[in-house]
Amino acid sequence: MFTSGDDAGHCSNGLTAQKFRDSTPEERTVYRKWLRGMVLVYGTLLLMSGVAAVASYSVVGPTQLTKLSVPHAPVSPRTN
């Protein structure tokens, strides 16, 4: 239940500069490793999605290439 004064914009359990300065060297090391891991994970996901988008956009199949480069002569559906 929400009570008077509860506001998501004033969440106090996040890391602040004061908490970072007051933390032990071991806690700072854990935080830096966690932050580095998150940047690595999301950076890798972004890179993979970019590569997939470029690869799917730039691939031209052989059927499309043939239709573009060789004009076909009209053929009558009736044979005599």
Q: Running DSSP on this structure, what letter comes out for residue 79? A: -
Answer for the pair 20, 31: CB distance below 8 angstroms, yes or no: yes
Q: How many CA atoms lie within 13 A of 10 on its CB side?
A: 4
| pTM for the whole structure | 0.51
DSSP 1-60: ---TT--GGG--SS--HHHHHHS-HHHHHHHHHHHHHHHHHHHHHHHHHHHHHHHHHH--
Q: pLDDT tens for the chain, 80 residues: list them.
A: 555 555 555 555 667 778 878 888 898 899 899 999 999 999 999 999 999 888 877 655 555 555 555 566 667 777 66
Cβ pair 20, 28 in contact under 8 A? yes
